[in-house]
Amino acid sequence: MKKTITTLLIFICVQTAFSQTQLLPKFIRKMYFDKDTTKKSSFVILPVLSSAPETGLEAGGAGLYSFYTDTASRYTRVSNIFGYATLTTKGQSRLSLSTSYWTPQNKYHITGGVGYINFPFDFYGIGNNTLKANTDRIGQKRLKVNFAAETKVADNFYVGLVAGGDHYSFSDGRPNSIFYTDPQVQFRHGGTSVYIGPSLIFDSRNNNTYTTRGALITSSLQLIKGISGLDYKGGFFNIEYSQFFLLTKKLVLGIDIQDQSLVGGQSPFYLMPTMGNDEIMRGYYNGRYRDRNLLVGQTELRYRLTERIGVVGFVGTGEVFNKTFTFAELKPNYGGGLRYFFDIEKGLSIRADYGIGQKVAGEARQSGFYVGLGQSF
């Protein structure tokens, strides 16, 4: 099992002992411990160090720059620029740069990103009941660009446009594996595609980084066209509903439901919805279960022990399916985690979660550990 180590977990554990001292360098205190109630911009770095047999040692980090486009307004939301980069001793890499930009008074919201992956992944097959015994490690190279822009048309309502493109290529050294023998695996060599489509958003959240009240409903339809090595025309539909309730001064209940569907007559396996990541269905390897449709839901209790430290507990369920949703096929997940709020004014935090999933007969129970920036939803 791949184990991730980050020095920031140490900072969380010793925050009480060190935050009031001069033992740490000034830039470390400024990023993680200084209490700033102004609307100044802030920057934080999350180091990453991990190892696995297929990658060797992986090292790098993530950085988040947060700012307001209008510091005079109490309503303008936090904007950010996020970067991530890691390299391994076996020549693999993961690089990304993205932004979420809110104009003054939240009249417009613009997001965009570019990412490159040269990294292997485990392929288990298609469907909701894949087996670990069929695992095949696939080499993957992916370049992805995405852009979205929304404008406010009424209180809490936005309409917009999503657009982007991606290029995938795959390699595998096992010609008799499920990756090659399963007829459900379409376009196994990858290809290039572009997409464009409409989006509709309802957003009544009181805060976009640490929400305690309100709702967020996002929906979009990507109309996809293959342009190189991919004879494909189809689409991808996504709708997500999140609702937040302030139960007490320190206790928040969050609910999140998401539905994704690949539409069209063909099914490129790498465009299919996949279940499990650091935001929803935590505890499942992302890609262990994939198919044309995904329906997942979760609820999370968030408690602020102090202004710096929070704890969460979560439980959820979901499944992937080809055409027919079946309640009996739903898979469980549950777990908990810690939050360290390095920027109290903006509600920005470092997140560490441990999720537990299904126990398949003859296999170890599925689980996962996640470290990231910001809330899961």
How far apart, in whole angstroms, are the C-alpha atoms of residue 322 and residue 126? 9
List of E strands, 183-308: 190-203, 214-228, 233-246, 251-263, 274-275, 289-290, 293-304
Mention every residue, 6+ apart, whose C-beta is less than 8 A from residue 59. 48, 49, 86, 87, 88
Residue 234 belongs to what domain range? 3-373
Instruction: Look at residue 4 in the predicted model and tell me its pLDDT.
Output: 41
How far apart, in whole angstroms, are the C-alpha atoms of residue 16 and residue 14? 6
Instruction: Look at residue 46 in the predicted model and tell me its pLDDT.
Output: 87
Instruction: Look at residue 52 in the predicted model and tell me its pLDDT.
Output: 80
Beta partners for 167? 143, 192
Instruction: Look at residue 5 in the predicted model and tell me its pLDDT.
Output: 40
pLDDT tops 50 at residue 301: yes
How far apart, in whole angstroms, are the C-alpha atoms of residue 18 and residue 10? 11
How far apart, in whole angstroms, are the C-alpha atoms of residue 29 and residue 25? 6
- Per the structure, the count of domains in the chain is 1
Structure tokens given for 281: 């269905």
Instruction: Look at residue 7 in the predicted model and tell me its pLDDT.
Output: 42
Mention every residue, 6+ apart, whose C-beta is less than 8 A from residue 345. 36, 37, 38, 39
Structure tokens given for 288: 């262990």
Mean pLDDT of 322-350: 94
Q: Is the alpha carbon torsion for 218, 223, 228, 230 positive or negative?
A: positive
Nearest to 156 by CA among 248, 221, 77, 212: 77
pLDDT tops 50 at residue 164: yes
Tens-place pLDDT, residues 129-159: 999 999 999 999 999 999 999 999 999 999 9
Tens-place pLDDT, residues 213-254: 999 999 999 999 999 778 899 999 999 999 999 999 999 999
Question: For the domain that residue 256 is a member of, what is the CATH number?
Answer: 2.40.160.50
Tens-place pLDDT, residues 18-68: 455 566 666 666 666 666 666 789 899 888 888 887 788 999 999 999 999
Structure tokens given for 45: 């770095």
Instruction: Look at residue 74 in the predicted model and tell me its pLDDT.
Output: 87
Tens-place pLDDT, residues 244-262: 999 999 999 999 999 999 9
Mean pLDDT of 69-96: 94
Mean pLDDT of the chain: 90
The more confidently predicted of residues 65 and 176 is 65
Residues 197-233 as b/e (b if ≥16 CB within 10 A, e otherwise) read bebbbbbebeebbbbbebbbbbebbbbbebeeebebe
Tens-place pLDDT, residues 313-328: 999 999 999 999 999 9
